[in-house]
Amino acid sequence: MGFVLLSFQVWPTINPFVNGGASGMLATCVIQPIDMIKVRIQLGQGSTVQVAKNMVREEGVGALYKELDGLCGAPLVKIYSE
């Protein structure tokens, strides 16, 4: 019974941290494919459509999300370091 009461008292305190971390990770997951295509365009590999098609055809859909594992943890680290 005490644990349930404690969890209701703690939740208002950690709620902003949880929501901030989740929104940061979601934003990173949405922006990552766009950023990967942008980098390949800057390297001179073609237009937006050409780069996206080549990435998916040659490397699979996972190519759009390379290095995502490190980026998803970054919003949480930023929250707790402020």
Q: What is the pLDDT of residues 25-60, one digit of tens each?
A: 888 889 999 999 999 999 999 999 999 999 999 999
Q: Which of 79, 81, 82 is nearest to 19 (CA)?
A: 79
Taking 3-state DSSP, the helix, strand and coil percentages for the chain, each rounded to the nearest 5, stand at 90, 0, 10
pTM comes to 0.67
- At 40 the pLDDT is 94
Q: Read off the pLDDT band of 10 (50, 70, 90).
A: confident
Number of domains in the chain: 1
| Residue 45 domain boundaries | 2-81
